[in-house]
Amino acid sequence: MLFNLAIIVIIALFVNWCCEKIKIPGLLGMIAVGIVLGPYGVPGCNLISPLINNMSFELRTAALIVILIRAGLGLNRQTLNKVGVPALKMSCIPCLLEGTAVTLIAHYLLKLDWAPSGMLGFIIAAVSPAVVVPQMLDINTKGYGKKREVPTLILAGASIDDVFAITLFGVFLAAGTGKAVNIATQFIKVPLGIIAGILFGLLAGYLLVKFFARFRMRDTKKMLIFLVVAILLHELEYFNNYLPIATLLGVMAMGFVLLELDNRRAKNLASKFNKLWIFAEILLFVLIGAQVNINVAFDAGLWGLVIITLGLCARSIGVWLALLGSKLTKNERLFCVFSYIPKATVQAAIGAIPLSMGVEGGELILAIAVLSIIITAPLGAGLIRGTHARLLENSE
């Protein structure tokens, strides 16, 4: 396993360097490495051992937690005051519009029942924080869009977007498998889960501030403790079957508290996490690529492409509506539209669940979910990287 991991890291670093030389987002190269070297890639080239593949979800989650900690350590109160209301709108309106549109199209176009159509709708509707957040942090570091905090608005909205998508997917999954479900109760759980996630994150961050103030240790040990606490916080999402806690938002809240109460220590930890991200980034994007089965994607056919395209149109309208009344310029709103295109994390994680539970049309749902990753991840990442310098002002 260690030999395979070493070879994968070397190849990913080389491909990332090549992509940056020709002005292509490096994450696309790393996703491509995962596709080629993964279990569904080129025959005989599978370098991702079964042990790594079995741990893929946990490793991707850990890498995502690292990038969200970095995001939280860069959030301050003034920034949140600027993006609060627009971020809340961005977290739900685009997701609901895209999910509803895909549900209707799948029902009438593919002749799926309402429950499988809804599952497909809200699998597809989730934006990918794993693709979006790292790029927003990079753009923010370079000074683009800081005047109206566009990158922060996007990463905050993208972190909550998945809560709506996964909750509504669960509603349709329960309906499709014959389980009784109260839709009103499920909708109430969404804001409660967001509030719970923030409160747990604020509490964990506050306790860490007190702990670090009392016990002296090296910043590397503090980083490890911070990471462990963030992982434990995220695990609340799986140990709790009643409330969908927005733990990803809670992880960001931990960083926010540390920055507010102990700015110097927060800056030191941010530097440590920036270094850790170099390795975590490779794991995240290579393992996302390894989950993509191109052969399955072809089963979606032309109708799959039509559904994804129409869904993106509905999402784009949702982003534009969510930003009405905000102070963003037309160019900045267009950049937000582009930034909400990528899909990867949720689609790879739950795309196969309907099939595994015997839902009628499960094969087609999985095929379209995989196709959405192949199309939108490179498209969205390329548009983000290619347009941010033109559409966003550089305050530096």
Backbone φ/ψ region at 23: left (φ over 0), alpha (ψ -120 to 50), beta? left
Give me the pLDDT at residue 100, please.
Answer: 93
Domains delineated in the chain: 58-391 (1.20.1530.20)
Give me the pLDDT at residue 181, please.
Answer: 57
Give me the pLDDT at residue 238, please.
Answer: 64
Give me the pLDDT at residue 241, please.
Answer: 60
Are residues 165 and 125 in contact, defined by beta-carbon separation less than 8 angstroms?
Answer: yes
Distances (CA, A) of 268 to 63, 165, 380: 19, 35, 32
> What is the residue-averaged pLDDT of the chain?
84
Nearest 5°: the CA angle 329, 332, 338 is 145
Are residues 151 and 335 in contact, defined by beta-carbon separation less than 8 angstroms?
Answer: no
Whole-model pTM: value is 0.79
DSSP string of 318-357?
Answer: HHHHHTTTSS--HHHHHHHHHHT----HHHHHHTTHHHHT
Give me the pLDDT at residue 307, please.
Answer: 93
Q: Where are the alpha helices (DSSP H) in the chain?
A: 2-21, 26-37, 50-54, 56-72, 77-109, 114-124, 129-141, 150-176, 183-214, 219-239, 247-261, 263-290, 294-298, 301-322, 330-339, 345-350, 353-356, 362-391
Write out the two tokens for 368.
Answer: 């379209």
Q: Which residue type occupies 134? A: P
Over residues 235-288, the pLDDT tens digits come to 877 665 666 677 777 888 898 899 888 888 888 888 888 888 888 888 888 887
For 144, the 3-state DSSP assignment is: strand
C-alpha span between 108 and 162 (Å, rounded): 25
Q: Which residue type occupies 385? A: R
Over residues 180-204, the pLDDT tens digits come to 556 666 667 777 777 888 898 999 9
Percent of the chain with pLDDT over 90: 19
Residue 99 has pLDDT above 90, yes or no: yes
Candidates 7, 57, 29; CA nearest to 348 is 57
- N-terminal to C-terminal alpha carbon distance within the chain: 45
C-alpha span between 394 and 257 (Å, rounded): 27
